[in-house]
Structure 1
Amino acid sequence: MRLDAHGISVDAPEGWEVRITRRAAQGHEPGSHRRPVLHAATVALPAVRGDFGGGVTGTLGTEDVFVSLFEHDPAAVGTGLFADRGFPVPTPADFAPNRLQRSIPGQSGGQWFFSVGERAFSLYVVLGSHARRAELFGKLTPLLRSVRLQGGISS
């Protein structure tokens, strides 16, 4: 199934739940921009979850994967962490237990910061098993290859 919202589109492979929503900027200040976030997982996504998998990653089994594609402020485009241009192309070697936002024994993660056009993003992936990362990477690849990002500024 193809999902397309907020300048992000993705094909949801069979067995994946995918949602594209908008979150208010940090602080939820009146007039703040609402930033898109894509969440995808091989487990059910709870209605309430953190931008980087809070409420989801703890439910991953050894055959599961979680993905967060989070848009950051356009002022970050091309700067510091966001200097890399284009959607990242991870490899199984890019995943490690010490790359998780929240360490859960046995899990593995990776995070990439990048810019596409006038938009800055972070891609955060959690694999339910570090020992099975090559196999889980095989589940992840079709989802990542299907992601398309429009390059304009999100509002």
Structure 2
Amino acid sequence: MRSIDRHGIELQLPDDWDGRVQRRPVLQPAPMTDGRAAPGARDVSRPVLHVSNRALPSALSDFGGDVVPGMRADDVFLALVDYGEECADTALFAARGVPTLAPSHFAQNRMARYVPGRSASQKFFTAGGRGFCLYAVVGSHSRRMITVPRLSRVASTLKIRAVVS
């Protein structure tokens, strides 16, 4: 096992799995027509955790669109997307604490983008004073009874701390 610990997100990862926490490059908000920054606009780049039992590409979209289509039947993928403090405890993010994953939570109609045979689970929650989305995909819906428990064991090591800016 090896530990990932960045930006208040910690996870224990099996040695043969790939994973990382990274931030997207900061995008400048579009200026108003007079060239000034829009009121309330600020540069924000939030952390995203990616985990898989296969090698991840160096450039990866938040919800794994670059990985999911090529998954094999026993592959698993997990993304944890930080939506920030302003989303914490709002209606969508009302659940408290890191959710669990079970085979019954996965369905083919929960994919961010439909890929035949794949199955996904998506859960929103608040932890560490921030709103998160936990998005998990298994390579084969029919094999989820085998693959989800492996992914669940890894996800159960997830710890989220408040981050001081």
Cα displacement (A) at 1:142: 1.8
TM-score (normalised: structure 1): 0.92
CA contact (8 A) 2:124 2:131 kept: yes
1:109 paired residue number: 120
1:99 paired residue number: 110
Larger Rg: 2
CA contact (8 A) 1:16 1:43 kept: yes
2:45 maps to a residue whose letter is R
Q: Which ranges of structure 1 fall in alignment gaps of 5 or more residues?
A: none
2:78 is equivalent to residue 67 of structure 1: yes
2:144 is equivalent to residue 143 of structure 1: no
1:40 maps to which of 51, 59, 62: 51
2:148 is equivalent to residue 129 of structure 1: no
Cα displacement (A) at 1:74: 1.3
- For 2:104 and 2:16, how far apart are their aligned partners in 1? 24
Cα displacement (A) at 1:24: 4.3
1:50-65 alignment runs, 5 A limit: 50-65=61-76
TM-score (normalised: structure 2): 0.87
Misfit runs of 4+, over 2 Å: none
1:29 paired residue number: 28
- For 2:154 and 2:129, how far apart are their aligned partners in 1? 23
- For 1:138 and 1:119, how far apart are their aligned partners in 2? 26
Q: Percent identity?
A: 39
2:18 is equivalent to residue 17 of structure 1: yes
CA contact (8 A) 1:24 1:35 kept: no
2:36 paired residue number: none
Cα displacement (A) at 1:152: 3.8
CA contact (8 A) 1:24 1:32 kept: no
Classify the secondary structure of the residue corresponding to 1:82: coil
Cα displacement (A) at 1:89: 1.2
Classify the secondary structure of the residue corresponding to 1:43: coil
